[in-house]
A = this chain, B = another copy of it.
Amino acid sequence: MIGGAPGAFMGDVHRRALALSGQFSLVAGCLSRHPQQALAAGRALGLAPERTYADWAQMARAEAARPDGIALAIIVTPNDTHLPVAAAFLAAGIPVLCEKPLALTLEQAQHFASRFTAKANDMVMAYTYSGYAMVREARRLVQAGALGAIRNIQVEYLQDWLGNADSNGGWRLDPQTGGAGGCLGDIGTHAFHLAEFVSGLQCQSLSARVSRLVPGRAVPDDAQLQLRFSHAAIGSLWVSQVATGCGNGLRLRLYGEKAGLEWKQEQPDTLALSTMDGRTTHTARGGSAVLTPSFLPRGHPEGYLEAFARLYSDTARLLGGLDAPLLPRLAAGVRGLGFVEAALQSGARDGAWTMLRT
């Protein structure tokens, strides 16, 4: 693991998720750039001192050279270092699981992708929400034709933890470290990936309103977009980190010729399918009506860590040479930056419709 010292939110999440998957254990880390802190952090996590690094490039070389070297590098650093760290490990022949967004700009992402074309499948993007069983079931239902042709895709991702002028956003609010996209990169990429993942359609162009609703902020904290998809579907994406009262309100709705479908991240174990006769059927994860497998039986809630663990289980399959078709790879990472860039451009041009360039 690179980044994610004890106490960091995402580092702890990754560690619990990989333990939960039962497929990985943490054996090496570069948890800080400062040798003393790196050592202390490694010790706190039970790592051997000789596998605790303060320099990721050194870690990549050293682990690649060990016979028992790591099978996977997990990147949970701030956004500005995702690419150089990933490059070091991929170049050393070590597959990577990387936090989103992949890069700060589309140009960086595309440059990286062209360099690592041959290893595009060895790079997993942590689009966590695609790991929920009922998100995968939704995708399956769409593919099976349960909705008919999709007409409208609505996705929203609402938080409020940046709702005050003095909210502590850390590097996420610094364009140098987190990127100019602000909420678009931080959570908008999740929502965008979810919309394409479940619908199976590609967003082709968008029109954006991009705002800094809390004055004095350097990056956007709220944006709303009109979307045009392949096959003439249209849609919308709203992302906010200042939607007062919202915790982690990611919600997807698809409307097709035959049925509408809704999934809410805060109640992830059910999926609702509605038809014109006035019936809405809520299907529970783990029930016999659901074909997507999961960890626990019906009625025993799975949550965010289980979704994350599913990404790790899939990654273990990947490393074992098996198929893992639902796992987001490098291309999905690049696409996220394509989304952020188009949104920023459209927003800057008063909502002019803008093509996605990936």
Question: Which residues on A are within 8 Å of B, measured CB to CB?
Answer: 9, 12-13, 15-16, 19-20, 22, 147, 151-152, 154, 159-161, 163-164, 207, 209, 211, 213, 222, 224, 226, 234, 236, 238, 240, 242-249, 255-260, 265-269, 273-290, 295-306, 350-353
Expressed in whole angstroms, the Cα–Cα distance for A192 and B275 within the complex equals: 26
- Whether A244 and B226, one on each chain, are in contact in the complex, defined by CB atoms closer than 8 angstroms, is no
Q: A15-B22, A296-B304 are known contacts. Are A258 and B279 too (CB-CB below 8 A)?
A: no
Question: What residue in chain B is nearest A148 (Cβ atoms)?
Answer: B244
- Whether A299 and B259, one on each chain, are in contact in the complex, defined by CB atoms closer than 8 angstroms, is no
Known contacts A209-B234, A247-B287, A278-B288; can you find 10 more A-B pairs with CB under 8 A?
A: A16-B20, A20-B305, A207-B209, A209-B226, A224-B234, A245-B274, A246-B274, A278-B289, A301-B301, A301-B302
Q: What are 16 inter-chain pairs, A to B, with CB distance below 8 A?
A: A19-B19, A20-B20, A147-B244, A151-B222, A151-B244, A226-B226, A236-B236, A245-B275, A246-B299, A248-B299, A265-B301, A278-B288, A278-B290, A279-B283, A295-B305, A300-B304
Residues of the B chain whose Cβ atoms lie less than 8 Å from the Cβ of A274: 244-246
- Whether A279 and B289, one on each chain, are in contact in the complex, defined by CB atoms closer than 8 angstroms, is yes
- Whether A260 and B236, one on each chain, are in contact in the complex, defined by CB atoms closer than 8 angstroms, is no
The count of identical subunits is 4
- Whether A266 and B299, one on each chain, are in contact in the complex, defined by CB atoms closer than 8 angstroms, is yes
In terms of DSSP, what is the predominant structure of the interface of chain A? Answer: loop
Q: Which 3 residue pairs across A and B have the least CB separation, nearest first?
A: A278-B287, A245-B274, A247-B299
